[in-house]
Structure 1
Amino acid sequence: MIPPKRNINDAGYSSGMTIFTAGENFHEFEHGLGREPELVTLVVDLGNGYHCDGLGSMSTLPNVKGTQYSWGGVIYGYNESHVRIWAPSKNGGALFSVQDGWGVQSNSFDVSYSGAFQVKVWSKVTNTHVKRFIVGRNDKGQEVDLPVTADIDNDLVFMTVKAIDGNNKGFSFPASGAVQNAHDRGEYGGVVYSYSTNKLRYWLPPLKQTNVNGPQGRLIYINDEYGGGHFQQGSLSAELAIHVWKSNTTC
């Protein structure tokens, strides 16, 4: 998620471009802004002239023994003091991958195992409107009103998912724009959303206990495939927040 440049103030913290090195698949930064940020972005430089955005949750690998699949992505979350970043740490995970099931195959842009990242944190973004609510195991998603009418061409609308328990309690993660799972799997996660000028629709995975047969949906999901197993998370309840930044205020 890249914020528009029109009328937005400078980020209060920037990590600078940090290289992913072998074995360093978990990073934690202290942003030092003293409050929960209103906007945080993570951009991954793939080293080939292209960049991609960070993720808020992981999809799982197909549950097929003896089969190697290509997968990837970089997860990030933040709270009032720190930003945490998880990169794939085993089973062939890459920083970026479209090798299995996406687009034209077998070219140099299919997968990137090395690169760098930059985090930017905004403590306060002028003229931001936020709507928060808790969801849990009995919720399936619905359509709700935006906190304020949005201009799709100029304003910024996004959703975050905050952990209210577990290893990342108090950390917020970006929601997603589409679902990625395509196979029968074990656990997986993420909240999917779309929006119009005045409404937001969100979809939740089926939230089950781990001892129930079938795929196990989670609102936030980070397992030992990421970050060397640091701060794993599998949320059955969370706080959702709808953010609308209005661009018509000069900072």
Structure 2
Amino acid sequence: MDRNRRLVCLLVLMSFCMTALVKSDCSDTSKSGNCTTGPKKISVWYKMKAQSGNQGNDVNFVTEMEESCNELPLKVEVQTKLQTGSEFIFPGSGITQGSDYSYSPYGGVVYMYKYTPDGTIQFIVPKNKSGVAVFSGGSAWDGVTQINETSVDVRYRVWCRCNLPTPAFESNWTDINVVDKKYLEISHGLGITPDMVIVQLRHGSTNWVSDIMGAMSTSETGRKKSGVIYGYNSRTVRIWAPNNGSLFHFTEGWESSHDKYMVLSGQVKVYVWTYLMNIKSKSIPLNRRPSGSDLEFRLPVSFDISQDMLHFTISPTDGENGGFYFSGMGSVQNADPTNQYGGVMYSYSTDKIRLWHPNLDGRHFLVYVNSKWGGGNHIQSSESVVAKVSVWKAGQICLIPKSKRTTPNPTTTQSTTAMTSRKRGQLTSLNPSTGTGNPSYQYTKKNESWYERSVAVPVLWLVVGGGCLLLFILISAAVTCLCKRNSDKIIPLNDEET
């Protein structure tokens, strides 16, 4: 019996020590950790086909994000791949700009999701002949190859709070509309260029939410103009809504269970991450140059399309938003030659990234924000940017300890400015080459190598694991000696005493 008890005690102790070495299972989805993990949920691949008219799930698919966060996810990402066998992934979009109004081609897989515990997500692709599921712009855009595909596979990935480090800044829900609150500046007050910014848009008083993304915009007018643009630097996040357009819509050309779905007002929420180590990044200049191999290059590190995250931005080198960072898009929604437009499209594989951008002819740009957006505040038309791709390896991106941070302490007070008329020069912009840059590099000591920083987290776990193992050995030895000492004091009973 004593031997069995000792065995049970040892097994319990071993389980306790081994638990310290295992990554959190994210059972408490509302609590942030110190490091990234893989997604909480990765769906199966669903088949979709554009130009299918009103044929149900082919153009409009709704499903529940099972085993999700039980609250609003921190990050939702939709991945699209071609059914032709290509290895490249195209990110889905949280906005719609193209439509059948202009009869010019456009494309994309658009998604939105519910702000409720059931976690419903909806995918939509164009239903009529002008729209496709993935479109790279045709002859109006430069790139290494041209994409014009109607049939695709799509899936979603979800990160809860417990899957990501604690945001350095998280705003309140802030009102936005297309009339008198079409331009916002939300100050995060961190004094350092963020590693990642996510902006969520809640659709009016509904429970639907979409992710704002991209600097892709057009000179369309009126209700045909839709979407929300954002850019950020070391101090603030700028958000533009179209003047008298819509924040989000499914009108002509998009199939949805919501007939003529159009969002004119809503709320935005901003999340900012800084002070992270082990992010691997690469930057290249984009400007007026011939298309070709310069628009396809290797990622800074190998990429797991299921577990890792990829963050792509472009930063103008001039203008009122010089030094601000804008995110790219996964499909072209503007190729009408009669309009002005801008943006950068991208796709990625396990080791490469491909880029597409408009022909830079003086009317089309890499970043374009004209006076018909945000009440004309801080307009931009850039033909020169710095493109940056960052890979977040699951389990390796962790918060830098506060004692190691070399930048000013962040302020936590949210400051929001809403403007309806144009105001120039309110903020001094940072040039990407001279700004504070990725905080991963701010953490670097003069005598510390990249290798020493990259192994900091594994070495920490090794020390913790070794300590637990040593503790286990010491306690095991103590228990064994104690039990042996007690066994020597036991007096056997003879037959007469029983």
TM-score with structure 2 setting the length? 0.45
Other-structure match for 1:27: 184
Q: Report the equivalent of 1:212.
A: none
Name the CA distance, whole Å, in 2 between partners of 1:57 and 1:149.
27
Tell me which protein shows more strand as a share of its residues. Answer: 1
Alpha-carbon distance between aligned partners in 2 of 1:69 and 1:25, rounded to the nearest angstrom: 14
Secondary structure at the residue paired with 1:23? coil
Letter in 2 for 1:42: V
Q: Which residue of the partner structure matches residue 87 of structure 2?
A: none
CA distance in 1, matches of 2:251, 2:370: 22
Residue of structure 2 aligned with 1:99, choices 251, 261, 278 = 251
After TM superposition, the structure 1 = structure 2 runs for residues 101-120 of structure 1, keeping only pairs within 5 Å, are 101-104=253-256, 107=259, 110-120=261-271
Higher helix share: 2
Q: C-alpha separation between the residues in 2 aligned to 1:75 and 1:150?
A: 27
* d(CA) in 2 for partners of 1:172, 1:179: 19
Match of 1:2 in 2: 75
Paired residues, number = 238
Deviations 1:31-52 (A, max 9, x none): 1111100000110000321111
Rounded Cα–Cα distance in structure 1 between residues aligned with 2:320 and 2:219? 22
- For the pair 1:236 / 2:380, whether they are aligned, the reply is no
Q: Which residue of 2 aligns with 1:198?
A: 351
Pair 1:78–1:71, CA change in 2 (3 A): same
Give, in whole Å, the separation in 1 of the partners of 2:243 and 2:235: 25
Equivalent residues of 1:69, 1:100 under 8 A apart? no
Instruction: Decide whether the 8 Å contact of 2:216 with 2:329 is kept in 1.
Output: no
SS at match of 1:225: coil
Tell me if structure 2 keeps the 8 A contact 1:78–1:171: yes
**CA–CA separation in structure 2 for the residues paired with 1:82 and 1:246:** 27
Q: How many Å apart are 1:111 and its aligned residue?
A: 1.0
Rounded to whole Å, the distance in 1 between the matches of 2:277 and 2:394 is 9
- 1:168 correspondence with 2:321: yes
Contact kept, 8 Å, 2:216 with 2:344, in 1: the verdict is no
- Letter of the structure 2 residue corresponding to residue 26 of structure 1: Y
Alpha carbons of 1:40 and 1:62: their partners in 2 closer, same or farther (altered >3 Å)?
closer
Picking from 167, 175, 187, the partner of 1:11 is 167
Offset at residue 176 of structure 1 (A): 0.6
Q: Which residue of structure 2 aligns with residue 213 of structure 1?
A: none
5 Å matches for 1:1-251?
A: 2=75, 4-5=159-160, 7-20=163-176, 22-47=179-204, 48-61=206-219, 69-90=223-244, 93-104=245-256, 107=259, 110-140=261-291, 142-209=295-362, 216-249=363-396, 251=398
In the alignment, is the contact (CA less than 8 A) between 1:56 and 1:220 conserved in 2?
no
* Conserved 8 A contact 2:202-2:267: yes
- Larger gyration radius, structure 1 or structure 2: 2
Pair 52,165 (structure 1): closer, same or farther in 2 beyond 3 Å: same
**RCO (CA 8 Å, sep 6+): is it higher in 1 or 2?**
1
Cα drift, residue 183 of structure 1: 2.9
CA contact (8 A) 1:25 1:226 kept: yes
How much has 1:104 moved relative to structure 2?
A: 4.0
In the alignment, residue 365 of structure 2 is paired with which amino acid?
R
More displaced 10-residue stretch of structure 1: 181-190 or 126-135: 181-190
Moved more, 180-189 or 168-177: 180-189
After superposition, the Cα gap between the structure-2 partners of 1:193 and 1:61, relative to the gap in structure 1 and judged at 3 Å, is same
3-state SS, counterpart of residue 283 of structure 2:
strand
Contact in 1 for aligned 2:195/2:276 (Cα 8 Å): yes
The C-alpha deviation readout for 1:187-220, integer Å capped at 9, x for no partner, is 10000000011110111110012xxxxxx22100
Shift, 1:142, TM fit: 2.0
The percentage of aligned residue pairs carrying the same residue is: 37
Q: Secondary structure at the match of 2:216?
A: coil
Cα deviation code 1:136-183 (max 9, x no counterpart): 011436211001111111111121000110010110000111000253
Write the distance in 1 (CA, Å) between the matches of 2:276 and 2:163: 10
1:161 and 1:70, CA in 2 relative to 1: closer, same or farther beyond 3 A?
A: same
Q: Which 5+ residue runs of structure 1 have no aligned equivalent? A: 210-215
Normalised by the size of structure 1, how large is the TM-score?
A: 0.88
Q: Cα distance 1:77–1:176, how it changes in 2: closer, same or farther (>3 A)?
A: same
